[in-house]
Chains A and B, each alone.
Chain A
Amino acid sequence: MENKNTKIITKQLNLFYGSKQALKNISLGIFEHKVTALIGPSGCGKSTFLRSLNRMNDLIENTRTEGTVEIDNVNIYQNGIDVVELRKKVGMIFQKSNPFPKSIYENVAYGPRINGVKDKDILEETVERSLKQSALWDEVKDDLKKSGLALSGGQQQRLCIARALAVNPEILLMDEPASALDPIATAKIEELIYELKENYTIVIVTHNMQQAARVSDYTAFFYIGELIEYDLTKTIFTMPKKKQTEDYITGRFG
């Protein structure tokens, strides 16, 4: 196999919503500057797993996490971890694009601003760089003052990606980022993911088999809270080792 670093390692990760167990003993390594797709039927825990990587599950009352998630060899669930710092390092793109009801510029500048950046030149530079990285710059450069909500669905999602990039994360978590978009907008997002993996480690949840096959280097198949199979995407889609995986990707259940 090629030379690569493991960016995220989860060990024996268990997660409970109240008494219901949503993740069961997930141990998995995610490689730096690769795209890792999480697939599986609804309710299998893939989104929950994704949200445990930047501790967004903390926001839901009555959740309990056991085991460890190490990012750059630091367990993010140990005491004394600054969740705010963690989330700056681990950006997130949501299923439903969620720009703030503010201008395009202010949306992207939000992250730097809350980090205390006040210098106008630096802000402008960051906004431009982020919008270019998310391939939105050419479409919006002339009306950065326009509301983010006035953009089309695909543009909104790319705005959210620009907003996440503006805080210089190292990891991007994407929770079905294209599920609400038309094929053309989806293609643009996928193209973007391909470009972004050069500089970022990307974990993407998707319902769309073809999408997983197209954009990811590695694929993890989840089923009812368990990690069934994890391998190179190529292998998962051509020679799955488990029957459940094969059944799912060939559309026999799900």
Chain B
Amino acid sequence: MKNKFLGSSITTLSALSALIIVLAVVVVMGEIMLGGWSTLTWEFLTGAPKEGMTSGGIFPAIFGTFLLVIIMSIIGVPVGTITAIYLSEYASQKSFLARMIRFAVNTLAGVPAIVFGLFGLGFFIQFVGSGIDKTFYGTQLKWGQPNILWASVTMALLTLPVVIVSVEEAIKTVPRELREASLALGATKLQTIWKVVLPNSITGILTGGILAVSRGAGEVAPILFTGAAYFLPHLPTELSDQFMELGYHIYIMSTQSPDVEATRGIQYATTLVLLLLTFGLNFSAIFLRYKLRSRAIR
């Protein structure tokens, strides 16, 4: 009797908890949709901020976000893929080095984003960047200040674990039979990886890239000190330029603007754009992963 009551109350409790999550998503999305929908126009997406950022569009921030994640992917996806290949194909599972790398990857995944930002500032800008400046540019400041390259590299570090984990997962779905077929034909290990393992894990590499991008697009802290700008009159054209970014744009609009009330609509619409971007990317990653799974089963 008592057990029955306990059982049913736990069912109710877990259903309620689940409902809270659904409600939270609905409320957040609803609120943002209602607030931002009217501001979200073609001009808003393609225009630059005007009048002290109280009107106009967010194109420079969209452009900056895309540029950031593209450079980040160019750096992070190859490094992550090669690491995943090392871990799954070369390293003995019990070797000290492999375990150390796994530990490092897991730790990296748990480091707060702001720490990456500070690391980027301290290491890339003040150490690497300043070093380059001192060596090649004399006293002139070029790389020793925040820019899109350092922001992208910092972001690549932050998203590296995501890439490594999904690529490794994809490599594991490549059947052993295919590797053996290749090796038995006298292919070297490298040839087998290059011609059999990688082509068959391409969906996983893409998934990793997309997940990294959606994670990266949603983070502000790592770029806070490493390259994001409050406002720029022109788009970045060089790696040493600063850039505007959607998440950072939301942050400054809601905290730093001289007239926060006037930017309310823009804040909502910018948030909506950012959310649609990350949701879209996540959905495509889920879709790719689904395709990958169904292939692995077959």
Q: Is the CB of A91 within 8 A of B187?
A: no
Q: Is the CB of A96 within 8 A of B177?
A: yes
Q: How far is the CB of B238 from chain A (nearest CB, A)?
A: 40
- Hey, which chain A residues are within 8 Å of B177, CB to CB? 94, 96, 98
Residue B115 lies at the interface, judged by CB distance under 8 Å to chain A: no
Q: Given A59-B180, A101-B200, A114-B195: A91 and B185 within 8 A (CB)?
A: yes
Q: Is the CB of B195 within 8 A of A98?
A: no
Q: Is the CB of B200 within 8 A of A87?
A: no
Contacting residues of chain B (136-177) with chain A, CB-CB under 8 angstroms: 175, 177
Q: Is the CB of A87 within 8 A of B180?
A: no
CA distance A56 to B92 in the complex (A): 17
Q: Is the CB of B183 within 8 A of A110?
A: no
Residue A123 lies at the interface, judged by CB distance under 8 Å to chain B: no
Residue B182 lies at the interface, judged by CB distance under 8 Å to chain A: yes
Q: Is the CB of B184 within 8 A of A91?
A: yes
Q: Chain B residue with minimal CB distance to A163?
A: B185
Residues of B within 8 A of A (CB): 92-93, 175, 177-188, 191, 195-196, 200
Q: List 18 A-B contacts (CB under 8 A).
A: A54-B184, A56-B180, A59-B179, A84-B187, A84-B188, A87-B185, A91-B185, A92-B180, A94-B177, A98-B181, A100-B181, A111-B185, A111-B187, A114-B188, A115-B186, A163-B181, A163-B185, A167-B186
Chain B proximity mask over A56-72: 1 for CB below 8 Å, otherwise 0: 10010100000000000
CA distance A101 to B178 in the complex (A): 9
CA distance A87 to B200 in the complex (A): 23
- Hey, which chain B residues are within 8 Å of A100, CB to CB? 178, 181-182, 196
Number of A-B contacts (CB under 8 A): 62
Residue A34 lies at the interface, judged by CB distance under 8 Å to chain B: no
Contacting residues of chain A (160-192) with chain B, CB-CB under 8 angstroms: 160, 163-164, 167
Residue A88 lies at the interface, judged by CB distance under 8 Å to chain B: yes
Q: Given A61-B92, A114-B191: A98 and B186 within 8 A (CB)?
A: no
The 6 closest A-B pairs by CB, nearest first: A88-B186, A98-B177, A92-B184, A87-B186, A111-B185, A98-B181
CA distance A88 to B191 in the complex (A): 14
Residue A85 lies at the interface, judged by CB distance under 8 Å to chain B: yes
CA distance A45 to B64 in the complex (A): 62
Interface centre among B181, B188, B196, B200 (most CB of A within 10 A): B181
- Hey, which chain A residues are within 8 Å of B178, CB to CB? 98, 100
Residues of A within 8 A of B (CB): 54, 56, 59, 61, 84-88, 91-92, 94, 96, 98-101, 110-111, 114-115, 160, 163-164, 167
Among B179, B180, B186, the residue within 8 A (CB) of A114 is B186
- Hey, which chain A residues are within 8 Å of B182, CB to CB? 100, 110, 114
CA distance A164 to B179 in the complex (A): 14
- Hey, which chain B residues are within 8 Å of A91, CB to CB? 184-185
- Hey, which chain A residues are within 8 Å of B187, CB to CB? 84, 110-111, 114
CA distance A127 to B188 in the complex (A): 21
- Hey, which chain A residues are within 8 Å of B185, CB to CB? 87-88, 91, 110-111, 114, 163-164, 167
Q: Is the CB of A94 within 8 A of B181?
A: yes
- Hey, which chain A residues are within 8 Å of B93, CB to CB? 61
Q: Chain A residue with minimal CB distance to B186?
A: A88
Q: Given A84-B188, A98-B175, A101-B200: A56 and B195 within 8 A (CB)?
A: no
Q: How far is the CB of A57 from chain B (nearest CB, A)?
A: 11
- Since A100-B181, A100-B182, A164-B184 are in contact, a sample of 11 more A-B pairs with Cβ atoms closer than 8 Å, ordered by chain A residue number, is A59-B180, A91-B184, A94-B184, A101-B200, A110-B185, A114-B185, A114-B187, A114-B188, A114-B191, A163-B185, A167-B185
CA distance A54 to B175 in the complex (A): 20
Q: Chain B residue with minimal CB distance to A107?
A: B181
Q: Chain A residue with minimal CB distance to B181?
A: A98
Q: Is the CB of A110 within 8 A of B186?
A: no
CA distance A86 to B185 in the complex (A): 10
Q: Chain B residue with minimal CB distance to A93?
A: B184
Q: Is the CB of B181 within 8 A of A160?
A: yes
Q: Given A88-B186, A167-B185: A98 and B92 within 8 A (CB)?
A: no
- Hey, which chain B residues are within 8 Å of A85, CB to CB? 186
CA distance A160 to B180 in the complex (A): 12
CA distance A86 to B187 in the complex (A): 11
Q: How far is the CB of A81 from chain B (nearest CB, A)?
A: 13
- Hey, which chain B residues are within 8 Å of A84, CB to CB? 186-188
Q: Is the CB of A87 within 8 A of B183?
A: yes
- Hey, which chain A residues are within 8 Å of B175, CB to CB? 98
CA distance A160 to B178 in the complex (A): 11
Q: Chain B residue with minimal CB distance to A96?
A: B177
Interface centre among A54, A87, A160 (most CB of B within 10 A): A87
